[in-house]
Amino acid sequence: MRKIGVLTSGGDAPGMNACVRAVVRYAIYRGLDVYGIEQGYKGLLSNRVNLLNKRSVSDIIQRGGTMLKTARCDEFKQREVMQQAVDTLDAYGIEGLVVIGGDGSFRGAQDLHNMFGVRTVGIPGTIDNDLAYTDYTLGFDTTVNTVLSAINNLRDTMTSHDRVCIIEVMGRKCGDIALYAGVGGGAELILVPEMPFETEDVVKTIKRNQRVGKTSDIIVLAEGVCKAEELKSILKLNDVTGSIKTTTLGYIQRGGAPSMQDRMLAAQFAVRAVDLLMDDRGGKVVGIRDNKIVDDDIDAALAMPSKFNKELYQTATILGL
The residue type found at 40 is: G
User: Binding of ligand F6P at residue 214 (CB under 6 A)?
Assistant: no
Rounded Cα distance, 155 and 153, in Å: 5
Is residue 231 classed as helix, strand or coil in its secondary structure? helix
CA-based end-to-end distance of the chain: 57
Binding residue for ligand F6P, selected from 172, 232, 263, 272, defined by CB under 6 A: 172
Is residue 18 classed as helix, strand or coil in its secondary structure? helix
Rounded Cα distance, 129 and 296, in Å: 17
- Bridging pattern class, strands 3-8 and 96-101: parallel
Least separation in angstroms between CB 109 and ligand F6P: 16
User: Binding of ligand F6P at residue 102 (CB under 6 A)?
Assistant: yes
Tell me the per-residue interface mask from 55 to 84 with ligand F6P, x by CB under 6 A, - otherwise: ------------------------------
Which residues are at the interface with ligand ADP (CB under 6 A)? 9-11, 41, 72-74, 76-77, 101-105, 107-108, 111, 126
Least separation in angstroms between CB 103 and ligand ADP: 4
Binding residue for ligand F6P, selected from 25, 113, 254, 272, defined by CB under 6 A: 254
Give residues with Cβ within 8 angstroms of 113, minimum separation 6.
Answer: 119, 120, 282, 283, 298
Closest to ligand F6P by CB, 84 vs 149, is 149
Binding residue for ligand F6P, selected from 126, 145, 216, 259, defined by CB under 6 A: 126
Question: Catalytic one among 128, 176, 295, 296?
Answer: 128
Binding residue for ligand F6P, selected from 15, 122, 125, 171, defined by CB under 6 A: 171
128 belongs to the catalytic site: yes
Report what 41 binds from ligand F6P, ligand ADP, none; CB cut-off 5-8 Å by kind: ligand ADP
User: Binding of ligand F6P at residue 42 (CB under 6 A)?
Assistant: no
Rounded Cα distance, 61 and 142, in Å: 14
Helices (H), the chain: 16-29, 42-45, 79-92, 103-116, 140-161, 176-185, 199-211, 228-237, 260-278, 298-303, 310-319
Residues found near ligand F6P in the complex (CB under 6 A) = 11, 102, 126-128, 170-172, 223, 254
Catalytic residue list: 128
